[in-house]
Chains A and B, each alone.
Chain A
Amino acid sequence: MQFWIVQSLNSLAMGGLLFLLSAGFSLIFGLLRIPNLAHGGLFMLGAYLGATLLGGQMNFWLAALLSGVAVGLLGVVLEAVLLRRLAGNEQGQVLVTLGVSFIIADLCLMAFGGDPMPLGAPRSLRPPVFIGGFAFPGYRLVVLGCALAVAVLLWLLLERTRLGAMIRAGVDDREMARGVGIKVSRLFSAVFFLGAFLAGLGGVIGGPILSAYPGLDADMLPLALVVVILGGVGSLPGALVGSFIIGAIYNFGSALFPDFAYVVLFLPMVLVLVIKPTGLFGRVLR
Chain B
Amino acid sequence: MTLTRRNVLQASAGAAALALTSNQARADEPIRIGFLTVKTGPLAAGGIQMEQGMLAYMKIKGNKLAGRDVQLIVADTGGSPQGTRTKAQELVERNKVHVLMGPVAAFEALAIGDYCEAQKMPTLGVAAAEDMTQRHSSIWFARATSSSGQCAHAIAHYAAKELGYKRMAVIGDDFAYGHEQNGAFLRVFEDNGGKVVQKLWPPLNAPDYGTYVSQVKTNIDAIFMSFAGSNGFRFAKAFNEYGLAGKIPILGGMTAMDEAILQQTGDDGLGIITASFYSPQYDNAANREFVATMQREYKIDPGYYASGPAVEAAILEAALLSVGGRIEDREALMKAVRANVVENTVRGPVRFDSHGEAIGNVYIRKMVKQGGRYINNVIKTYPDVSQFWTYPEAEFLANPVYSREYPPAKNLES
- In the complex, how many angstroms separate the beta carbon of B298 from the nearest chain A beta carbon? 10
Q: Which residue of A lies closest to B205 (CB)?
A: A219
Complexed CA–CA distance, A188 and B333 (Å): 64
Q: For window 198-231 of chain A, which residues contact chain B by CB distance below 8 Å?
A: 209-211, 213-215, 218-220, 223
Residues of B within 8 A of A137 (CB): 210, 241-243
> C-beta contact mask, B202-239 vs A, less than 8 Å → 1, else 0?
11011110111011000000000000011001100110
B45 touching A214 by the CB < 8 A rule?
yes
B261 in contact (CB, < 8 A)? yes
A155 in contact (CB, < 8 A)? no
B211 touching A7 by the CB < 8 A rule?
yes
A258 touching B201 by the CB < 8 A rule?
yes
- In the complex, how many angstroms separate the beta carbon of B269 from the nearest chain A beta carbon? 11
A88 in contact (CB, < 8 A)? no
**CB within 8 A of A116: which of B203, B215, B230, B242?**
B230
B44 touching A109 by the CB < 8 A rule?
yes
Complexed CA–CA distance, A220 and B206 (Å): 10
Q: For window 42-78 of chain B, which residues contact chain A by CB distance below 8 Å?
A: 42, 44-49
- In the complex, how many angstroms separate the beta carbon of B406 from the nearest chain A beta carbon? 16
A128 touching B243 by the CB < 8 A rule?
yes
A139 touching B233 by the CB < 8 A rule?
no
**CB within 8 A of B210: which of A14, A105, A214?**
A14
Q: Which residue of B lies closest to A209 (CB)?
A: B208
> C-beta contact mask, B135-177 vs A, less than 8 Å → 1, else 0?
0000000000000000000000000000000000000001000
> C-beta contact mask, B296-340 vs A, less than 8 Å → 1, else 0?
000000000000000000000000000000000000000000000
Q: Which residue of A lies closest to B268 (CB)?
A: A118
Residues of A within 8 A of B265 (CB): 118
Q: Quick one: given A6-B214, A215-B41, are A116 and B207 in contact (CB under 8 Å)?
A: no
- In the complex, how many angstroms separate the beta carbon of B67 from the nearest chain A beta carbon? 34
Q: Quick one: given A214-B44, A215-B205, are A209 and B210 in contact (CB under 8 Å)?
A: yes
- In the complex, how many angstroms separate the beta carbon of B29 from the nearest chain A beta carbon? 34
A220 touching B207 by the CB < 8 A rule?
yes
Q: For window 80-119 of chain A, which residues contact chain B by CB distance below 8 Å?
A: 105-106, 109, 113-118
Q: Which residue of B lies closest to A253 (CB)?
A: B211
- In the complex, how many angstroms separate the beta carbon of A118 from the nearest chain B beta carbon? 5
Residues of B within 8 A of A157 (CB): none
A135 in contact (CB, < 8 A)? yes
A270 in contact (CB, < 8 A)? no
Residues of A within 8 A of B44 (CB): 109, 114, 214
Residues of A within 8 A of B243 (CB): 127-128, 135, 137
**CB within 8 A of B45: which of A114, A118, A258?**
A114
Q: How large is the interface on B (under 10, 10 to 19, 20 to 34, 35 or more residues)?
A: 35 or more
Complexed CA–CA distance, A116 and B230 (Å): 6
Q: For window 229-256 of chain A, which residues contact chain B by CB distance below 8 Å?
A: 250-251, 254-255
Residues of B within 8 A of A219 (CB): 205, 207
B210 touching A140 by the CB < 8 A rule?
yes
Complexed CA–CA distance, A214 and B46 (Å): 11
Complexed CA–CA distance, A7 and B242 (Å): 12
Q: For window 9-32 of chain A, which residues contact chain B by CB distance below 8 Å?
A: 10, 13-14, 17
**CB within 8 A of B233: which of A135, A211, A215, A220?**
A211
Q: Quick one: given A115-B260, A261-B203, are A128 and B40 in contact (CB under 8 Å)?
A: no
Q: For window 21-47 of chain A, which residues contact chain B by CB distance below 8 Å?
A: none
Q: Quick one: given A14-B210, A17-B208, are A262 and B203 in contact (CB under 8 Å)?
A: yes
B264 in contact (CB, < 8 A)? yes
A136 in contact (CB, < 8 A)? yes
**CB within 8 A of B205: which of A116, A135, A218, A251?**
A218
A255 touching B211 by the CB < 8 A rule?
yes
Q: Quick one: given A10-B211, A114-B45, A223-B207, are A128 and B241 in contact (CB under 8 Å)?
A: yes
Residues of A within 8 A of B200 (CB): 258
Q: Which residue of B lies closest to A137 (CB)?
A: B241
Q: Quick one: given A105-B41, A214-B45, A215-B41, are A116 and B234 in contact (CB under 8 Å)?
A: yes
- In the complex, how many angstroms separate the beta carbon of A282 from the nearest chain B beta carbon? 24
A114 touching B242 by the CB < 8 A rule?
no
B113 in contact (CB, < 8 A)? no
A136 touching B201 by the CB < 8 A rule?
no
26 contacts between A and B (CB under 8 A): A14-B208, A17-B208, A109-B40, A114-B46, A114-B47, A116-B45, A116-B233, A116-B234, A116-B261, A118-B233, A127-B243, A128-B243, A137-B210, A137-B243, A140-B210, A140-B241, A209-B208, A209-B241, A211-B233, A213-B229, A213-B234, A215-B42, A215-B205, A254-B211, A259-B201, A262-B203
Q: Which residues from chain A sit less than 8 Å from chain B, CB to CB?
A: 3, 6-7, 10, 13-14, 17, 105-106, 109, 113-118, 127-128, 135-137, 139-140, 209-211, 213-215, 218-220, 223, 250-251, 254-255, 258-259, 261-262
**Closest 10 A-B residue pairs measured CB to CB?**
A215-B42, A114-B45, A135-B243, A137-B241, A116-B230, A128-B243, A251-B211, A114-B44, A213-B230, A6-B214
Not counting A213-B45, A254-B212, a sample of 15 additional A-B residue pairs whose C-beta atoms are within 8 angstroms of each other reads A7-B211, A10-B214, A17-B208, A115-B261, A116-B233, A118-B233, A118-B266, A128-B243, A135-B244, A136-B242, A140-B210, A251-B210, A255-B211, A261-B174, A261-B206
